[in-house]
Amino acid sequence: MPEIGELREAEEYAERVIDQARKDAQKTRLGIPARIEEMNREKDGKLKAVAAQAEAAVEAEMRELRGRLDSETSSRLDLLGNRKEALELEALRMLRELILPGRDSD
């Protein structure tokens, strides 16, 4: 049979282990809110980065669309300008024929 001294030492050791486990558990409990806060900050940072990337992609797409629209608008305005000139010349020719029916238009 173990002696009383050995039993007492084992009991004291067990109490120290239990006390240390309680202290560790307390530290863990106290650290949980801080860890949650840290994880939330990390998550917020990642979300902001994703949002910034998405915003940059949208801005790039909008710039491209604006460029295409400007180019198309410019092309159409040029085409309309050319048509206007042709119509003005044709209208002028027709007016000359009406006003001066017997003369050849040069």
Sign of CA dihedral 25, 26, 27, 29: positive
Residue 78 has pLDDT above 70, yes or no: yes
Reported as a single tens digit per residue, the pLDDT across 80-103 is 888 999 999 999 999 998 888 766
Residue 106 has pLDDT above 60, yes or no: no
pLDDT at 27: 86
The tokens 């109490």 sit on which residue? Answer: 15
Tokens at 24, concatenated: 């560790």
pLDDT at 2: 65
Reported as a single tens digit per residue, the pLDDT across 41-77 is 999 999 999 999 999 999 999 999 999 999 999 999 9
Lowest mean pLDDT among 1-5, 16-20, 58-62, 85-89: 1-5
* 93, 105 contact by CB (below 8 A): yes
The tokens 């050319």 sit on which residue? Answer: 82
